[in-house]
Chain A
Amino acid sequence: MKTIISVIGKDTVGIISKVSAVCSKYNVNIVDITQSVLQDILVMVMLTEISELSCSFSDFSDEMKQLGTNLGLDIRVMHEDIFNSMHRI
């Protein structure tokens, strides 16, 4: 199963590294990363493969959310199908 991790907030040093560290900790493979920075606001999107996830999806999602809270960012982990169904026919 593939998920999209979206990160929105003020750009600072080490965001990708910290998000990637959580992915690595739970055996989540990063398939693709895109990002853009507009007026100091970072929008980063990661496509990840979580079929080998070493914890429950809920715990992984909660830890990302907590990381976001700690860094003052909005981090969400969402199944890619929601984007596919909304934007592709």
Chain B
Amino acid sequence: MININDIMETVTMISHENLDIRTVTMGISLLDCADSDINKSCDKIYEKITRLAGNLVKVGCDIEKEYGIPIINKRISVTPIAMLAAASGGDPVKYAKALQKAADATGVNFIGGYSALVHKGFSAGDENLIRSIPEALSITNNICSSVNIGSTKSGINMDAVKLMGQIIRQSAALTKDKNCIGPAKLVVFCNAPEDNPFMAGAFHGTGEPDCVIHVGVSGPGVVHSALKRCPDGDLGDVAEVIKRTAFKITRMGQLVGTEASKRLGVPFGIVDLSLAPTPAVGDSVARILEEMGLESCGTHGTTAALALLNDAVKKGGVMASSSVGGLSGAFIPVSEDAGMIEAARNGDLKIEKLEAMTAVCSVGLDMIVIPGDTPCETISAIIADEAAIGMVNSKTTAVRVIPAIGRKQGEELNFGGLLGEGPVMPLNLDKSPAKFINRGGRIPAPMQSLKN
């Protein structure tokens, strides 16, 4: 029989250290649903999603029960809707309504893919869809949206960056009565991955199969507990502990992914090796960094500690899975991480440090509440800075900021649930980047040699 200590280790990870599968996400291609009549296209979408994902929630719950491992979210990602909007024309919000209807019918937590890929320019459907995002997010509950505005190979589409600053603000204004929840469901990407199972940025890329199952693992609490058992080791030892833990977590993700794929009769895609925090106590990435020896997340040394963590998670996870993809790394969503919320409240964690952290971690400026009077151009400039980090370093970066309409620094927004709560973080609003943003055009793709 398996060693009793190994059994107890697994049981403790689940019962006391918040180990869970964060998401089982079914990617569905909607390319064959495109129709020149938008109503027909919406009907086909509803039919295809409910046909393929009708059993997704049940299978997820069955696996959860049998293996005793919580699966927090069951989600769907779809082909960027801008492609269907290009074929059909008409009001893209109809698609959002059709997706919401499909989400209700299948019982999934979220459907991601109300998206457009405009890193080099807008094609038919793209701009219409982007302009409809605020309304789409305000009238739906379970739909997520993302826009890719840059890539290492094509540069940054600054016209799209400018537009997204306005869209984020409009989206917050339209959901002012619901704690500005709109932009919490909207991500602006540079180098967006096509197989990401995590929201709000999940969409089903055009290079993916017709239908596929991706899994996102979690487990900051497990890594934190493992590090507590290594209080005096050097940083080589710390990296080793993280690698071993990440290996175990990922093996579980691989098991759940293959099992879900078998039961649903859908090919298995990837495991996303992420450390995804939640606001729950003991499920924080910031606490891992503090366990390494920082007095508070956000102080000098945070970027280095995060770089070590991110790299060790990948090294440990890669061997544990047949196929790794998505965002893979440590997430740093401020409002979703108890340690980061505290550091932001205390003023130890500032947006400049968060920006530096995004150069070495999984995604980007994530779930950051900003002052309600932040000008659109400043939001665009935040996006441009973040996209530049991603573009130059050949990595995914993203921005998910929430303008707290009517609130100022010192006040807070509470989204509830996994999205958490956070203080309004100070920005540099004294000087304006408006002229730079209003120039528009494209920042050319960077050199890939002469790396200095």
Task: Report which A residues bind B (CB closer than 8 A).
Answer: 4, 6, 8, 31-32, 34, 36, 43, 45, 47, 57-58, 61, 74, 76-88
Contacts and interface: CB of A to CB of B under 8 A. Distances in A.
20 contacts: A6-B8, A8-B8, A31-B1, A45-B7, A45-B8, A57-B65, A61-B65, A61-B66, A74-B11, A76-B15, A76-B68, A78-B66, A81-B67, A83-B6, A83-B10, A84-B2, A85-B252, A86-B10, A87-B2, A88-B2
B157 to A, nearest CB: 43
Interface of B: 1-4, 6-11, 15, 62, 65-69, 248, 251-252, 254-255
A78 B67 contact: yes
A31 B1 CA distance: 9
A81 B10 CA distance: 12
A2 B1 CA distance: 11
Given A45-B7, A74-B15, A87-B3, A82 B65 contact: no
B2 A43 contact: no
A46 B134 CA distance: 54
Contacts of B3: 87
B14 to A, nearest CB: 8
B255 A81 contact: yes
Given A61-B65, A76-B11, A82-B69, A36 B4 contact: yes
Nearest to A44: B4
Contact of B68 (A82, A84, A85): A82
Contacts of A31: 1
B267 to A, nearest CB: 19
**4 nearest CB pairs, A to B:** A78-B68, A87-B6, A85-B255, A32-B1
B252 A6 contact: no
Contact of A45 (B1, B65, B67, B251): B1
Given A34-B4, A76-B11, A87 B248 contact: yes
Nearest to B249: A86
A26 to B, nearest CB: 15
A6 B11 contact: yes
Contacts of A43: 4, 8
A4 B67 contact: no
A88 B320 CA distance: 11
A58 B66 CA distance: 8
Nearest to B319: A89
A81 B251 CA distance: 11
A82 B1 contact: no
Given A57-B65, A77-B68, A82-B255, A87 B1 contact: no
Contacts of B66: 57, 61, 78-79
A14 B373 CA distance: 66
Contact of A79 (B9, B68, B254): B68
A47 B11 CA distance: 15
A47 B4 CA distance: 11
B65 A86 contact: no
Contacts of A45: 1, 4, 7-8
Nearest to B61: A58
A82 B2 contact: no
Contact of A6 (B7, B65, B251): B7
A47 B1 contact: yes
Contacts of B252: 82, 85-86
A79 B67 contact: yes
A77 B7 CA distance: 12
A40 B35 CA distance: 68
Contacts of B251: 85-86
Contacts of A58: 62, 65
Nearest to A76: B68
A28 B69 CA distance: 22
B13 to A, nearest CB: 9
Contacts of A83: 2, 6-7, 10
